[in-house]
Amino acid sequence: MRKLIACLWFASLMSAASADMVYVSNEKDDTISVIDTATFSVVKTFPVGDRPRGIIFDRTGSVLYICASDDDTVQVMDPDTGKILHNLPSGEDPEQFILHPNNTLLYIANEDDAITTVVDVQKRSVVKQIDVGIEPEGMAVSPDGAWVITTSETANMAHWIDTTSQELVHNTLVDQRPRHAEFTPDGRELWVTSEIGGTVTVFDVSNQQEIHKLTFEIPGIHADRVQPVGMKITSDGKTAFLALGPANHIAVIDVPSKTVKQYLLVGRRVWHMDFSNDEQYLLTSNGLSSDISVIDVAAEKVIKTVKVGRFPWGVATRPSRK
C-alpha cells in the first residue's frame, strides 16, 4: 500500500511539474484568465486595461505584454501576481504585436494610425514608427529575427520590415482582409491568412514571391463563413492549425504538402491559439461562446472546453522556467 501511495504521489508531482499556465485575454471583460493545464480549469482572473486583445510573454516568462487597445497602451504584467508593472508607449489602438528574438524590441500594429511602432521594452521608449497599410493587424517575426511582417486589413498587403534598418522594404499583395501571419520554423516560408478572402497565401521568404494559396471547404458550411484568422505551426514544421472564425472549425494542415487533413469543430467564432510548451495541447480562443477549446495535438482531436471571460481573444502559454 505504501508503495502504491508513493507511486501515486510521484505521478501527481510529475503532472504538476509539467503543467503549464495559459493566459487568455477577455476582450469584453477587461480581464486575463489563467488556465492550469494540469486540470484545464481557470485558476486566476486578473483585471487589466480596456479591451485587451494581443498578449505575449517575454522569452523568459517573467512578464506578460498586453495590448490594451482602447487605452492606447501596452501593459506589462507580473504573471504571478497580476500586477501591472508599467505601461509602454504603443501608438493608438494596439491590436497585435510580436517580440523580436533579442527579447528587447516589440513591434506593435496600430490599427487606427496605419503604422507599426517599434518599442524598446528595456528603455520603455519608441525606437521608430513605420508607415504601413491601412488597418494593420497581423504581426510575425522570422526565426532569425531578420524580418518583421505587418499585415494590413484594408490595403490587403503583407509589409516586410528589415529589422536591421527598421525600414519597410517590400509590400506583397494577399487576398482580402489579412488578419495573421506565421513563419515556418525553418524561416523559409511565410503564411498569411485572409479573413474575407477565405485563403492562406504562402510566400518564399528568400524572394518574397507567392508560391502557393490554400482554400478551404467544410461540408454543410457556407463559404462566406469560412474566414481564416489565427494560426500556429508545430515546431517540427509538419502541421499547421488554422482558425476559421465563424465557421467554428480549426483546419489541420499538412505543411509540406499544403493540404488540409481534416477540420475540427470547436467553439463559436474561433480567433487565436497557442500550444502548451511541450506541444501536447493546443488551446483556441472562441469569442462568441466565451470559452477555450483544448485540442490533443498528436490525436488531432478536441478533448475539452474551458469557460473563460467574455469574448476571449488572445492566448499565450507561459514559457517554462528552469
Full domain range(s) for residue 73? 21-317
Torsion angle of C-alpha atoms 171, 154, 101, 211, degrees rounded to 10: -50
Residues 113-128 have pLDDT tens digits of: 999 999 999 999 999 9
Looking at the domain assignment, is residue 121 inside a domain? Answer: yes
pLDDT confidence band for 4 (50 / 70 / 90): very low
Q: Which three cell numbers stand for residue 46?
A: 486578473
**pLDDT score for 322:** 57
DSSP assignment, residue 245?
A: B
Residues 45-66 have pLDDT tens digits of: 999 999 999 999 999 999 999 9
Q: Considering the entire predicted model, what is its pTM? A: 0.94
Looking at the domain assignment, is residue 4 inside a domain? Answer: no
**Sequence-distant (≥ 6) Cβ neighbours of residue 123 within 8 angstroms:** none
Looking at the domain assignment, is residue 3 inside a domain? Answer: no
Looking at the domain assignment, is residue 7 inside a domain? Answer: no
CATH code of the domain in which 41 resides? 2.130.10.10
CA 213/CA 204 separation, integer angstroms? 12
Looking at the domain assignment, is residue 116 inside a domain? Answer: yes
Q: Are strands 73-77 and 64-68 parallel, antiparallel or unpaired?
A: antiparallel
Looking at the domain assignment, is residue 251 inside a domain? Answer: yes
**Domains: count for the chain:** 1
Q: Tell me how crowded residue 189 is: count the other CB atoms within 10 A of its CB.
A: 20
Q: Are strands 301-307 and 312-317 parallel, antiparallel or unpaired?
A: unpaired
Looking at the domain assignment, is residue 9 inside a domain? Answer: no
Spatial contact of 46 and 32, defined as CB atoms under 8 Å apart: yes
Pick the closest to residue 115 from 139, 91, 87 (CA basis): 91
CA 51/CA 73 separation, integer angstroms? 11
Residues 172-204 have pLDDT tens digits of: 999 999 999 999 999 999 999 999 999 999 999
Average pLDDT over residues 244-268: 98
Looking at the domain assignment, is residue 10 inside a domain? Answer: no
